Structure 1
Amino acid sequence: MNTMERRKFPFMGRRPDVAEWFEGFPFGLPFAAETHPIRIEESQEGDTYTVRAELPGVDPDKDVEITLDRSGVLTIHAERTEEEKSKEHSEFRYGSFTRSITLPEGVKEEDISASYDKGILTVTAPLGERTTTTRRIEVSKQS
């Protein structure tokens, strides 16, 4: 295969991932089974667990809702409406996107905080002591 063909067909020789075709689209692909509409990055440094989420083009005061349920699942919900108008053309994009993450055991729920800067939502969750005691349960025989 010559150089021109390789440039024209970059996936030649391997099966392309549909998400690769749309790389760079805001919020990913809502219809692709392997991808989530909100891309996240989770990390733990010392006693702090951090979740960073890509949310470009949203107003965090109006368009973002963060909740934590009793089972320790953090849910990020965002809605985006964007409209571009020019003299000869108008285009709009909108959508509602949700992503849920199970937080690690021992998170101090009352101290969780969130901030938004340049399209990135950062949720910080301080970690407390984990209760990882293991207990053996005896099985009784029924006669």
Structure 2
Amino acid sequence: MATLARKQRFPFPDMQDWFEAIPSKFSMPALRIEDYTEGDRYVMRAELPGIAAEDIDVVISDGVLTVEAERTERDIDKNHNEIRYGAVSRSVTLPPGADEDDVQADYTDGMLTVSVGLGAEKAEAKHIEIRHGD
């Protein structure tokens, strides 16, 4: 018995090229991170290649660590451009016991590393007895 092979064909073969041709001003760059616990510290690392340290802002508030950065476009004529420009932001929730007063940040070779000390764990939930009238 003969088996018929049917070749799947994408109905719009140029669509991928079309999306890549959209100017970078319309596409949102991604801020890629990794986070982990190392000893008694929470560590978050973020890729920020080509961004000056003075264009990076690290903020901690109410148990949330936020990194904001911006890569500005050079004002020159370009023959070809694949570099993404614009502002990026990423927020992560800190683990329980994070000490917002014990924070260190380092930016080397396009990699931002922020570490936060982990103090004592927060107290466990307390169950409260409910009084009711007779």
Fold in common (TM above 0.5): yes
1:67 maps to amino acid: V
**2:66 aligns to what?**
75
Q: CA RMSD in A?
A: 3.3
Shift of 1:97: 0.9
Q: Where does structure 2 lack aligned partners over 5 or more consecutive residues?
A: 11-15, 21-26
* Counterpart mapping for 1:1-143 below 5 A: 30=28, 37-60=30-53, 62-69=54-61, 71-83=62-74, 85=76, 89=79, 93-141=84-132
Contact 1:83 1:93 survives alignment (8 Å):
no
Q: Where does structure 1 lack aligned partners over 5 or more consecutive residues?
A: 10-17, 23-28, 31-35
Deviations 1:71-125 (A, max 9, x none): 1111101010143857x73757520111111111222222201011111100011
* Rounded Cα–Cα distance in structure 1 between residues aligned with 2:133 and 2:46: 53
Shift of 1:142: 6.2
1:95 maps to amino acid: G
1:89 maps to amino acid: N
Aligned length: 117
* Rounded Cα–Cα distance in structure 2 between residues aligned with 1:56 and 1:120: 7
Provide TM-score, normalisation by structure 2: 0.69
1:42 maps to amino acid: D
* Rounded Cα–Cα distance in structure 1 between residues aligned with 2:73 and 2:111: 17
2:57 maps to amino acid: E
* Rounded Cα–Cα distance in structure 2 between residues aligned with 1:84 and 1:75: 29
* Rounded Cα–Cα distance in structure 2 between residues aligned with 1:82 and 1:57: 11
Which structure carries more relative contact order (alpha carbon 8 Å, separation 6+)? 2
* Rounded Cα–Cα distance in structure 1 between residues aligned with 2:58 and 2:133: 49
2:45 maps to amino acid: R
Secondary structure of the structure 1 residue equivalent to 2:43:
strand
Q: Percent identity?
A: 40
